[in-house]
Structure 1
Amino acid sequence: MAVSRSVVNKVLAIEQAEGAGARVRRSIGSMKLRNLSPFLMLDHFHVSEGGFPDHPHRGQATVTYMLEGASAHEDSAGHAGVIEAGGVQWMTAGRGIIHAEMPVVKEGLPAPKGLQLWVDLPKQYKMVEPSYQELGKDGIPSAYPEGKDGSIEIRIISGDSHGVSSPVRPLGGCWYFHVIMKEKGKTVFQPIAKGWTAFAYILKGSVIVNPENDRTAHEPFHTLVFSNAEDGVAIESAEDETEFVLIAGEPLDQTVMQYGPFVMVDREGIQQTLRDYQFGRNGFEKAHTWKSKIGGQ
């Protein structure tokens, strides 16, 4: 009999200002929830104006999953595009990149809402060349634990669920699922490797974790961190139309040394990164010459 994980920490993400006119609910990366390796940050963002103009990254992957609206992206390596509702962009920043993320504003199109997850890169991949893995809404596979006519859908952004796999291949272990449960009282069990860090962030409705042992209902905008010694996690929908993301990753045996969007494993690595950015080298050759078209809109 598979044993479910339980909730060991619960954090409410409070909305705050970020970027140029954006509002975010930050849980991982806030003062209440740090050191959740390999995860560095989770923002639930709402961009009604402004956005995230030109800024650099090194040493992590940024995963942008759009829930509503659309977001434009442009970077110093010549990559540009639009992430539409239901789509994901998995950007491995590696040795360095400069990019802008700005809302697509059109009549009849809702303001962009979505999630951005920062995942630490294993130290051997910190200085790889930047790369992208992108899937539109129709490119993300789904699993249906009760069958396609059932009330549960699991959108598999990365990893494996109920015999279905995502084509996304992260550098380091990371599974990312968007679980949609239309009916109250349904339960889904997701296997997770023992020892992996795992959490859920509730988008809509409410959930009960490990329902055979704990009937506490957890409401939207909470991040639930799970124990890590069990076989997986059982989650029950406590309301109709419940949605959450379930994310798990292999913890890294390395120090996190972070300076804003730069994430290395020691102080020397951060100092080298700042020098590289200052002098425009080792991935930041265009740091002082490149300007995005979308960042100044």
Structure 2
Amino acid sequence: MPEKEIHNVVIHPRLVVRKFLARPQHEGLGAIVRRSIGRFELKYFDPFLVLDEFSVTAPAGFPDHPHRGFETVTYMLQGSVTHEDFEGHKGTIGAGDLQWMTAGRGIVHSEMPAAQGTQKGLQLWINLSSKNKMIEPNYQEVSSKGIPEASKDGVRVKVIAGEALGAKSPIYTRTPTMYLDFTLKPKAYVQQPIPSSWNAFVYILEGEGVFGNSKATSTTEHNLLLLGYGDGLEVWNKSGKPLRFILVGGEPLSEPVVQFGPFVMNTQEEIDQTIDDFDNYSNGFEKARHWRSEAGISLGF
């Protein structure tokens, strides 16, 4: 068998080791999020800091706020959201679109609804290594049409980061990451390789599925599943309705994590310095002194 095929076969399937139901909570300005990673029971899953399934209806949203030391990945499921930041980036992403923002040494931005009704999506925070925490901010925006897709035997996948079913994402990830959006038709089955040294999880968006072991109990939407050791994942849709979930994996950084709200560094001293930098508009936050987003101005921020 060719070497490439060997790497695409799951020999040691990962089992589900923990399960969390993401319950609604308030965040931002009147927004509702279902937080799974980043809450009391699961503060950090190296290299992932936060996973929110958000729901916002204007005038609710996430007005001007800062970040340092990590990346935010926003993936829209319904409606649209407009992003603005003090580096001059402004863009609106709709259902199926992606924004991959590197906060690096510092960014201030806003994320506000751009359409009538309720806007829904996922936001994932990915930690940066100590060598990358103070890099210049960066912004990648990809439309739904620009995200590679593949289909086979009742399985469809959108490859946001990484590779699946022969499709590969163009997104560059400083912290090695895979981010896959799977939809399985009723009775479909899929296996997806995952590097053995990576941490990985599943978040179910729609329907119910059996993960890791064909005899396991099925799990329904809004649940996060932490996966144990292995070289891949097996999933079965034994129901009569479609199953949609994301599979996310990343290479652990294995570094100390000190977090203060939207700032994530390696030491308390670095956090203290970050707060001082933000308060004094210095060392990466200079542009925050005179910048306000259009959405923020309209709301009086």
Task: Give TM class, smaller chain.
Answer: over 0.9
Match of 1:209 among 204, 208, 211: 211
Indicate conservation of the 8 Å contact 2:15/2:213, yes or no.
no
Deviations along 1:152-186, whole A, 9 cap, x unmatched? 11100000112210000110111000101122x21
Q: Deviation string for 1:245-266 (max 9, x for gaps)?
A: 1000001120110000000001
Distance 2:228 2:57 in 1: 36
CA deviation vs aligned residue, 1:39-73 (integer Å, no higher than 9, x gap): 00000000023100000000000000000000001
Question: Structure 2: where are the runs of 5+ without partners?
Answer: 1-9
Pairing 1:23–2:16 present: no
Alpha-carbon shift at residue 243 of structure 1 (Å): 0.4
2: distance between equivalents of 1:278 and 1:222? 38
From 109, 119, 134, the counterpart of 1:112:
119
**% identity of equivalent residues:** 45
* Residue aligning to 1:197: 199
Aligned residue pairs total 287
SS, match of residue 288 in structure 2:
coil
Q: Does 1:100 align with 2:110?
A: yes
How far apart in 1 are the matches of 2:113 and 2:237? Answer: 32
Distance 1:66 1:192 in 2: 24
1:123-169: CA deviation from partner (whole Å, max 9, x where unpaired) = 110000000111101000012133xxxx2111000001122100001
Query: What is the distance in 1 between the residues matched to 2:173 and 2:118?
Result: 29
Deviation at 1:287, TM superposition (A): 2.3
Among 134, 144, 150, the residue aligned to 1:137? 144
Match of 2:90 among 63, 80, 84: 80
CA deviation digits over 1:204-232, x for unaligned, max 9? 101101233x321011100000002x110
Q: Does 1:293 align with 2:300?
A: no
Is 2:44–2:50's contact at 8 Å kept on the other side of the alignment? no
Q: Aligned match of 2:158 in 123, 147, 155?
A: 155
Paired residues of 1:62 and 1:93 also in contact (CA < 8 A): yes
Q: Which amino acid aligns with 2:99?
A: Q
Q: Secondary structure at the match of 1:295?
A: helix
Residue identity opposite 1:87 in structure 2? D
4+ runs deviating over 3 angstroms = none
- Counterparts of 1:101 and 1:48, CA distance in 2: 12
Name whichever of 10-19 and 287-296 sits farther off.
Answer: 287-296
Equivalent-residue separation in structure 2 for 1:296 and 1:16 (angstroms)? 26
Q: Distance in 2 between matches of 1:172 and 1:145?
A: 29
TM-score (norm 1): 0.94
TM-score (norm 2): 0.93
Distance in 1, matches of 2:103 and 2:163, equals 24
In structure 1, what is the equivalent of residue 266 of structure 2?
A: 265
Q: Structure 1 counterpart of 2:94, which letter?
A: E
Which secondary structure state, in structure 2, belongs to the residue aligned with residue 194 of structure 1? coil
CA deviation digits over 1:76-108, x for unaligned, max 9? 0111010111000000000000000000134xx
Mapped pair 1:178 → 2:181 = yes
Cα separation, 1, equivalents of 2:285 and 2:40? 30
Q: Deviations over 1:252-294 (max 9, x none)?
A: 1201100000000011110111111111111100223211102
Equivalent residue number for residue 189 of structure 2: 187
- State the match for 2:5 in structure 1: none
Whether 1:40 aligns to 2:49 is yes
In structure 1, C-alpha distance between the alignment counterparts of 2:297 and 2:247, rounded to whole Å: 35
